Chain A
């Protein structure tokens, strides 16, 4: 299932699962990630310091004081991964408020896509999304795939500050800015839901790779009175 294994510098193994982005390839990545995570937790590996799954890659970082590329690569190659493990993927509902002060880029999307704000939202809210990966900033989920009708490139000039909680779309993906951050995605709304909780030491990230997400619209009043 891994197409190619190479080294990323002297402290990481770079596992390439294929050039495309789709749920099948990503499920393979997550399968390997889950399997390796379990081995790490059970202390059956030596020197592995991080596992970073993404759309179609898995990066396995290690401490050069305890192991090296050759040994870690061999460990990965010798893994026996069961295909088609049926998993009950967790479903998470996320509230989103799309009033003007939160949906910052509707004007841009209107002119680029030639469809109304109402139609964009209808299309966006009608689908369940798959979480491909979490990262860039703490807890940020990369979700997909959004309908072809509402796909649009990144902003020509990224924002220096995207407000915390913003929901953005670009190409076939959607994300949620778990912290205020620079960013170039088209912002269509904001969620009052805490996406990353740095006080929750067991499960700080609400959304994990493999989860399914559905957005539902809330009013300005509901947003402002949101209480977790």
Chain B
């Protein structure tokens, strides 16, 4: 076992380990979990020369303050994040995202906060030393599943890092800026016809605001009240990431990685896969518009999204 670890001096608001998620457990009530932003997760791993699916640390808003013990490592941070490196001789360096750095023994990494998005990612070369639960290193704090007893990290916890040889690490940097776009593309849901024609129109033509009720489970929106003319309940049935449910109060809720596996509210729409990263990154107060696309269009947009991700992955050097 490795003896290299991060000592947590400040845990941050919601700091967990995540990977691409946990499959084949919906039928037991266990959500997929996994990173909210798949592209930034892949880029974080690529920048430290890891396999794209190695577990990373995900933080929300305020990130952790970490002190490295017993070895040196190579790390990278992705997202829209402000951070500093406090060297063991007390010198302070401002950090830049999408770039890898060497951290020496007793150096500190202070992840101060995200800027215009909710989540950021920290990767280390070789990955973290974690126990796997049902095929994933993701922490689901609602069901206490995953490493660290399924809990978010707190002060004085240690996060162990696998031994790695730093010899072959080259400096890598990527010129990447997140496109800010408030158009979220949606495929009509299985209960779209439960809503009045006025509500159907409003859904695709009016603005919705992200409320403070936004976390890894889901995002509640407010805006034009969406009138249901059939039934405000359905027989409870499965949900997927990106499903937009509308409860009796007429305000839509978007399901994210840690969502309940089944739900009984009508589904007005489902966000297309290519737009899930952006939706998860929305902060309270953001204004969005939904745009309808067909299944075929969604598949083409996903192909373009994947190609673009791959292009960025290839540009890391």
The interface-forming segment of A59-67, A89-97, A98-106, A186-194 is A59-67
B167 within 8 A of A: no
In this assembly, does A147 line the interface, its C-beta being within 8 Å of a C-beta of chain B?
A: no
The distance in angstroms between the C-alpha atoms of A16 and B284, with both chains bound, is 36
In contact, A138 and B143 (Cβ under 8 angstroms): yes
Q: Cβ of A224 < 8 Å from any Cβ of B? A: no
- The reply to whether A134 and B145 contact each other, CB–CB distance below 8 Å, is no
Give the distance in Å from the alpha carbon of A10 to the alpha carbon of B240 in the complex. Answer: 10
B189 to chain A, nearest CB (A): 7
Interface size on A, residues (CB 8 A): 47
Cβ-based interface call for B162 (8 A): no
Interface check B280, CB cutoff 8 A: no
Cβ distance A6 to chain B, nearest Cβ, rounded Å: 6
Residue of B nearest to A57 (CB): B237
**Chain A hits for B299, CB < 8 A:** 10, 64, 68-69
A29-66 toward B: CB 8 Å interface, digit per residue (1/0)? 00001000100100000000111111111110100110
B269 to chain A, nearest CB (A): 8
Are B142 and A56 in touch, CB under 8 angstroms?
no
Assess whether A204 is in contact with B28, with CB atoms less than 8 Å apart. Answer: yes
With beta carbons under 8 angstroms apart, the residue of A9, A56, A179 that contacts B270 is A9
Which has the most chain B C-beta neighbours within 10 Å: A56, A59, A135?
A: A135
Query: Are the C-beta atoms of A10 and B243 separated by less than 8 Å?
Result: no
Of A8, A9, A11, A52, the residue contacting B262 (CB under 8 A) is A52
Q: A57-B237, A64-B302, A139-B29 are in contact. Are A10 and B295 (CB under 8 A)?
A: yes
Judge whether A142 is part of the interface by a CB distance below 8 angstroms. Answer: yes
Q: In the complex, what distance in Å separates the CA atom of A139 from the CA atom of B32?
A: 14
Could you say which residues of chain B place their CB within 8 Å of the CB of A51?
Answer: 24, 26-27
**A52/B150 in contact, CB under 8 A:** no
A27 within 8 A of B: no
Which residues of chain B come closer than 8 Å to A205, judged between CB atoms?
28-29
Which of A50, A57, A64, A68 makes the CB contact (< 8 A) with B26? A50
Interface size classification for chain B: 35 or more
Q: Is A12 an interface residue (CB 8 A)?
A: yes
Q: Which residue from chain B places its CB closest to the CB of A68 in the assembled complex? A: B299
For the complex, give the distance between the alpha carbons of A50 and B29 in Å.
11
B-side contacts of A65, CB under 8 Å: 306
Chain B 247-266 interface residues, beta-carbon cutoff 8 Å to A: 260-263
> Smallest CB–CB gap between A213 and chain B, Å?
16
Contacts of A7 in B (CB 8 A): 187, 295
B272 / chain A contacts, CB cutoff of 8 Å: 9-10
Asked if B238 contacts A57 (CB within 8 A), the reply is yes
Q: Is A140 an interface residue (CB 8 A)?
A: yes
A136-B143 contact in complex given A14-B190, A51-B26, A68-B299, C-beta closer than 8 Å: no
> B213-268: which residues lie under 8 A (CB-CB) from chain A?
235-240, 242-243, 260-263, 267
Within 8 A of A (CB), among B275-317: 295, 298-299, 302, 306
Q: Which residues of B contact A52 (CB under 8 A)?
A: 26-27, 237-239, 261-262
Q: A52-B238, A52-B262, A137-B260 are in contact. Are A10 and B302 (CB under 8 A)?
A: yes
The complex places the Cα of A7 from the Cα of B293 at a distance, in Å, of 13
Task: Answer whether residue B176 sits at the interface, using C-beta atoms and an 8 A cutoff.
Answer: no
* CA gap between A52 and B32 in the complex, in Å: 12
Which chain B residues border A33 with CB–CB below 8 Å?
27
Contact B238 A138 (CB under 8 A): no
Q: Which residue of B lies closest to A55 (CB)?
A: B235
Q: Does A133 contact B (CB under 8 A)?
A: yes
Residues of B within 8 A of A49 (CB): 23-24, 32
**CB of B30 closer than 8 Å to a CB of A:** yes
Q: Are B190 and A133 within 8 A (Cβ)?
A: no
Indicate if A21 sits at the interface (CB-CB under 8 A): yes
Q: Which of A68, A135, A137 contacts B27 (CB 8 A)?
A: A135
Given A55-B235, A134-B29, A135-B28, does the pair A201, B134 have CB atoms closer than 8 Å?
yes
> Contacts of A68 on B, CB cut-off 8 Å?
299
Could you show 12 A-B contacts with beta carbons less than 8 Å apart? A8-B243, A9-B243, A10-B295, A10-B299, A10-B302, A12-B240, A14-B190, A50-B27, A52-B26, A58-B238, A137-B143, A178-B29
Closest 3 CB pairs of A and B: A9-B270, A52-B238, A59-B238
